[in-house]
């Protein structure tokens, strides 16, 4: 926020932004998910073969056509798999969310934490149901990630 205020003169706090809100938490999650996405997607980008670009140019394709008809279809499964994996990572993360918002923002990991740790209104069975739902969603996300990864690996061998 200081950088935006210094470079552009945009004071987010004057417009109602709060780091301890949903949007503050979203920006924080994006901040630590982008480097992880780069680490996961770079091997797929490195797997693009130079011959594909040369073949497209030989056939008369422009750079835009090469990207639209070759690069994006090859990288799309890797990109979708990465997005799903990052969703599963963010879905289960509690430390950042709890440190920023405490229990004021009701997201699934914080609700689970509140049910298990024994607050005054805790309900162990609700905690078990939430935990099962999280396991199911995270497992499903991992299955989709593996499926997308295998689809992308056939092109990038």
pLDDT tens per residue, range 33-87: 999 999 999 988 998 889 999 999 999 999 999 999 999 998 998 899 999 999 8
Q: Which of 18, 49, 44, 68 is nearest to 145 (CA)?
A: 44
The pTM score is 0.74
Contact, 135 vs 78, CB < 8 A?
no
Q: What is the CB-side half-sphere exposure of residue 59 using CA atoms within 13 A?
A: 12
Contact, 100 vs 24, CB < 8 A?
yes
pLDDT of residue 132: 93
Contact, 70 vs 56, CB < 8 A?
yes
- The total number of residues written for the chain in this structure: 157
Domain extents for the chain?
18-153
Average pLDDT, the chain: 86
| pLDDT at 19 > cutoff 80 | no
% of the chain residues with pLDDT over 70: 96
């Amino acid at each position: 926020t200081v950088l935006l205020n210094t470079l552009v003169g945009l004071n987010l706090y004057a417009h109602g932004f709060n780091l301890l809100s949903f949007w503050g938490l979203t920006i924080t999650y994006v901040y630590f998910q982008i480097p992880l996405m780069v680490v996961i997607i770079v091997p797929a980008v490195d797997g693009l073969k130079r011959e594909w670009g040369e073949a497209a140019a030989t056939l008369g394709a422009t750079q835009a056509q090469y990207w639209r008809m070759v690069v994006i279809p090859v990288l799309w499964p890797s990109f979708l798999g990465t997005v799903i994996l990052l969703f599963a990572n963010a879905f289960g993360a509690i430390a950042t969310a709890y440190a920023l918002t405490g229990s004021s923002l009701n997201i699934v990991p914080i609700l689970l934490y509140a049910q298990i740790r024994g607050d005054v209104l805790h309900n162990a069975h609700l905690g078990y149901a939430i935990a099962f739902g999280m396991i199911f969603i995270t497992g499903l996300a991992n299955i989709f990630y593996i499926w997308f990864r295998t689809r992308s690996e056939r092109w990038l061998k």
